[in-house]
Amino acid sequence: MSEIKPVVTFCEYGKVKINLRSIIDAKGITKNKLAKMTGTRFEVVSKWCSGDIERIDADVLARFCYVLDCDVCDIIKYEA
């Protein structure tokens, strides 16, 4: 009799961290002000600041980078 193989294999790929909160804190910008400056809803900014996003919206990310004068890699970090 052959060994039963699992259908799903779990692998640890690392994590993607969102550093928006530290950037706006360093620049002295509130979440509310960032929302107004980028034309983004406050709830969206709040989720990005808490790292509680399910998918990365490239348009929102581009607005953050433009307003904060930073690069994508300043906001998003990969940790192995």
Query: Which CATH number covers residue 38?
Result: 1.10.260.40
Residue 9 lies in a domain: no
Provide the whole-model pTM: 0.82
Residue 5 lies in a domain: no
Residue 44 lies in a domain: yes
Residue 10 lies in a domain: no
Q: Are 17 and 42 in contact (CB under 8 A)?
A: no
Distance from C-alpha of 59 to C-alpha of 52, rounded to nearest angstrom: 17
The stretches in the chain having pLDDT less than 50 are: none
Domain count, the chain: 1
Q: Are 36 and 47 in contact (CB under 8 A)?
A: no
pLDDT value of residue 12: 84
pLDDT value of residue 16: 92
Residue 46 lies in a domain: yes
Instruction: Write out the residue range of the structural domain in which residue 73 sits.
Output: 15-79
- 32 CB contacts (<8 Å, ≥6 apart)? 42, 45
Q: For residue 39, what are its two tokens?
A: 């034309």
Residue 65 lies in a domain: yes
Residue 31 lies in a domain: yes
pLDDT value of residue 1: 59
